[in-house]
Amino acid sequence: MVVHEYFPRDFRVRREARALRAAGMAVDILCLKQDGQATTEEIDGLRVTRLPVRRHRGSPLPVYMAEYLAFAAAAGSVLGGRQIREKYDVVHVHAPPDFLVGAGLTGRLGGARLVLDIHDLTPELYGSRFRSSGGKLARQIMQLVERGSCLVADRVITVTEAFKQLLVGRGVAAEKIQVLHNCPDPEAFQPNGGYRRRKKSYNIMHHGTLVHRYGVDLLVDACAQVAEQVAEARLDIYGEGDWLPKLEARLAGDPLTERVCLHGEVSQDVVARALGKADLCVIPNRQDDFTDLLLPTKLLEALHVGCPTIASATKVIAQNFADGGVHLVRPGDVDELAGAMLFLATHPQQSGKLAKAGKLAAKRFSWDTEKNKLLGLYQSLGISIKS
């Protein structure tokens, strides 16, 4: 597996790799190297090799491109040498960037099958992150790279049916694509016994990457309104990203800082325990071409645990929860978000009903089901699976 991310931080990669290992495969992972991490180590029976490239989150586009190219070159070099010695059967490349599939071609030349696992669609992600800098030409180039990357892969995996339909519309053969939903880790996110409103505090929670498109600043503004009427309201924010220092600056000297705790990046287990104790989880995504396609894992995690949840009614979220389970609000509307938060804070019975409906709705997204899809895909490549 090749992934432009730190490991074991990427939970999708970790779940897939562990599933393949449990099915009898030897799995190697090539990934980024964070300060303080070992260059090589074994985790859960997976051999991890960290390459001397690190993330530059929030940097200008040229820095991102240099980082992507450096990692692709390093991964391709390592893969080429190992393919000669070890003869990989499959090279599984996680994207973005889509052109990272080029690193896998060194394995392909040695007889390996090539799987491209698209976590995010690059043209839409680029438009959201860089406000479509470069215009129509930049988007066309990215779509060409995306299509070419899918063309050279033997199989393509992506995370939602909406992603698949866009790829098909851009020329990728439908029969080549397997949808593998992101799902909560069943070992960490255990359902609670049922929602009960805390008496001494009302704990609101948000977790995940802190960037503009995910609207955490909108949540802070809405929380300020709620705090005026619910004295026990508290907001816990877990995660890191471009907006963490901006939130710190926003809260500096503000009385609200006593109500908001920025925990930074924490383990998955810490997030799971926090969700189990929270009164409300909020997913306040802004709306754009990228977020309209997302079915956030953090949303499914909250529902699976049994935490009442408010989310922006972006396209795919609204489609999947049209029948309930999530309290939907207009994306970007701070007043509506605050009103929904206040309503649930003052109506515990409604929160209990919402939590129960959310648990039921989340059952559609099971890692056992998705794992079997992954193993079936590998069998279709001629790989033997241990029963």
Q: Kindly list the domain boundaries of the chain, sorted by start residue.
A: 2-183+366-380, 202-362
Average pLDDT, stretch 116-137?
84
Percentage of residues of the chain with pLDDT beyond 70: 99
Q: Does residue 365 register a pLDDT over 70?
A: yes
Averaged confidence pLDDT in the chain:
93
pLDDT number for residue 207:
97
> Nearest Cα to 6, choosing from 34, 47, 38, 48?
34
**Alpha-carbon distance values, 107 to 76, 99, 146 (Å):** 8, 15, 20
Question: What sign has the CA pseudo-torsion 101, 106, 109, 111?
Answer: negative
Q: Does residue 57 register a pLDDT over 90?
A: no
> Nearest Cα to 122, choosing from 68, 174, 175, 176?
68
> Nearest Cα to 300, choosing from 257, 255, 342, 358?
358
pLDDT number for residue 136:
79
What residue type is assigned to position 48 of the chain?
Answer: V
Q: Torsions phi, psi of 281, nearest 5?
A: -115, 140
pLDDT tens digits, 69-122: 999 999 999 999 999 888 899 999 999 999 999 999 988 888 999 999 999 999
pLDDT tens digits, 157-202: 999 999 999 999 999 999 999 999 999 988 889 888 788 887 788 9
Name which CATH class applies to 2-183+366-380: alpha beta
In this prediction the pTM is 0.90
Average pLDDT, stretch 127-147?
82
pLDDT number for residue 187:
86
Separation between Cα atoms, residue 312 and residue 325, nearest integer Å: 13
What CATH number does the domain located at 202-362 have?
Answer: 3.40.50.2000
Residue 386 — very low, low, confident or very high, per pLDDT cuts 50/70/90?
confident
Whether 202-362 and 2-183+366-380 are alike in CATH topology: the answer is yes
pLDDT number for residue 106:
87
Average pLDDT, stretch 116-136?
84
Percentage of residues of the chain with pLDDT beyond 90: 80
